[in-house]
Structure 1
Amino acid sequence: MNTLQDLQCFTLTVAEGIATVTIARPPVNAQNGRFRDEIIRIFDLLHDTPEVLAIVLTGAGRVFSAGADLKERPGLSGEPGAYPRHNRLVRAAFACVMECEKPVICAINGAAIGAGCALALSADILIAGESAFLSMTEVDVGLAGGVKHVLRHFGQSDARLMIMTARRITGPELLRMNVVSACVPDAELLETAMGIAREIAGKVPLAVRAAKRSFNLVEDLPLHEGYRYEQSQTVALSTSEDTREAQRAFAEKRKPVFTGR
């Protein structure tokens, strides 16, 4: 990852097909322009890195991300065009996680507030530490936003409860609401997420990427159209060498060897 030697807000490691992206902007991992530029660069690069099969996203310290850095809020400057530029970059910082073709497992450690909450909800699979919580605090300060991100993982009533009250939804409550796949002791959080990443990394890479594309595309499609797209993905995969290898390995009771073709 020689093109990412200048990171100031993140650390990145890659081992055994798994990339670990750690937010590292103390004291509370707040998101500013530099943060957003770096996360876009990181996830765009991982998108195009064949040896990366799954990604774990987490935060350093006791906070996942406390949200946007208010010192950079464009409304304070009054500069014409500042808000459109700012909003475009914010959208891209979340979209790069959602659109990255590799599955992203978010290990939520501590607080994920506002933009931090939206970033966590941009991931594919969510795991929470017992001390973690999600909170959208916009209504407390006269702002709005995050509804669509919240609706990706929350049911309708719980989404409205979260947005309209600005409550902190803790790890155990997130599990009860089916927002996260697991709530584990903080000391076990990263290893739990890594275990899921390793499991995904052992599957047919082309099929995993196709599955993520399907989730992103069919989310807002009617059942008939969504399933028809999924069937087209299966047809395309059926002729790939990795699919043939997976089927041969299953029949021969051995571990498959994938080539990405």
Structure 2
Amino acid sequence: MNDFTQLKYSLVDFIATLTLNAPPVNALTRVLNDELTLAMDRVSEMDEVRVVILTGEGKVFCAGADLKGRASVIKGPGDLLAHSRRTRECFHAIRECAKPVICAINGPALGSGLAMAASSDILVASDQASLGLPEVDVGLLGGCRHAMRLFGHSKVRRMMLTGLRVPAAELYRLGIVEACTAPEDLMPTALEIAATIASKSPVSTGMGKHTLNVIEDMSLRDGYRYEQDMTARIAKTDDAKEAQRAFAEKRAPKFVGH
């Protein structure tokens, strides 16, 4: 993925790291939006990737929409609808990525940045991080529905109506992030979780994420029935059989991804 200009990519030990790199505050430009969408689609089909870490370069994870570049993108009829479609598909690409996505929030994640975090599977945060919906201060809306995946009713509305930013320590207290670390410990923490995921069967983790996405808005009966059906499918895979053999033989399993 050396063709990207606002997104850094690296791959080590089945762990792909995608770093937002649009100085000075990683605002979601048209370029970054399209590159991040494409990157998520690409890693979804790469067998050498089992888990993704999404983070930001510098002191800000993502300051939100690129308001300065908005005028160059929206010039005439249809442009706003196309822009809105591209933006929401970027967040869907994260949520629908075939590989689990760990969001390592290195600094403020506002508006679009909050939506990226909420679209990820596992969240960890630096103690310099925060989540917020600042759109009320610039005459816009955005990210509220994504915030509802993380926060309760009153908190979301307070954030939207006042621009309140919720700091990392409070995010950890609320159980929204898995860890609140010193800045230098953020990536090691994310990598530790990623390494554990990468050691599991990619069939199980991939199908497990897909199942969680599907059942999220289902009833208990329908959701659990779907999960049972997926369990039956996983049980027929070579990786599942290898996991059972390894358990019986008291050794580490060797997964092949099918």
The two structures share one fold, judged by TM-score above 0.5 = yes
3-state SS, counterpart of residue 68 of structure 2: helix
* Letter matched to residue 68 of structure 1: A
Aligned equivalents of 2:157, 2:231: Cα separation in 1: 36
- 1:227 matched to which residue of 2? 224
CA displacement at 1:77 relative to structure 2:
4.8
Q: Deviations over 1:12-32 (max 9, x none)?
A: 000101000011111111111
3-state SS, counterpart of residue 103 of structure 2: strand
- 1:8 matched to which residue of 2? 5
3-state SS, counterpart of residue 64 of structure 1: coil
**Unaligned residue ranges in structure 2 (runs of 5+):** none
CA RMSD of aligned residues (A): 1.4
- 1:238 matched to which residue of 2? 235
3-state SS, counterpart of residue 153 of structure 1: coil
**Unaligned residue ranges in structure 1 (runs of 5+):** none
Asked whether 1:217 is paired with 2:217, we answer: no
- 2:166 matched to which residue of 1? 169
- 2:28 matched to which residue of 1? 31
Q: Deviations over 1:116-142 (max 9, x none)?
A: 111121111000100111111112222
CA contact (8 A) 2:243 2:253 kept: yes
Aligned equivalents of 2:74, 2:201: Cα separation in 1: 50
- My pick for the range that moved more, 148-157 or 245-254, is 148-157
CA displacement at 1:251 relative to structure 2:
1.1
CA contact (8 A) 2:74 2:83 kept: no
Cα 1:166–1:82, aligned 2, differ >3 Å: closer, same or farther? Answer: same
CA displacement at 1:163 relative to structure 2:
2.0
- My pick for the range that moved more, 232-241 or 138-147, is 138-147
* Letter matched to residue 65 of structure 2: A
Q: Deviations over 1:203-257 (max 9, x none)?
A: 1211111111111111111111111100000010111110000111111111111
Aligned equivalents of 1:230, 1:129: Cα separation in 2: 34
Aligned equivalents of 1:248, 1:74: Cα separation in 2: 60
Aligned equivalents of 2:217, 2:52: Cα separation in 1: 25
The percent identity for this pair of structures is 45
Aligned equivalents of 1:88, 1:77: Cα separation in 2: 13
Asked whether 1:196 is paired with 2:193, we answer: yes
Q: Deviations over 1:65-97 (max 9, x none)?
A: 111111232599551111100001001111111
Asked whether 1:70 is paired with 2:67, we answer: yes
* Letter matched to residue 120 of structure 2: A
Question: How is 1:73-88 mapped onto 2 (pairs within 5 angstroms)?
Answer: 73=70, 77-88=74-85
CA contact (8 A) 2:201 2:256 kept: no
TM-score, scaled to structure 1: 0.95
Question: How is 1:99-138 mapped onto 2 (pairs within 5 angstroms)?
Answer: 99-138=96-135
TM-score, scaled to structure 2: 0.96
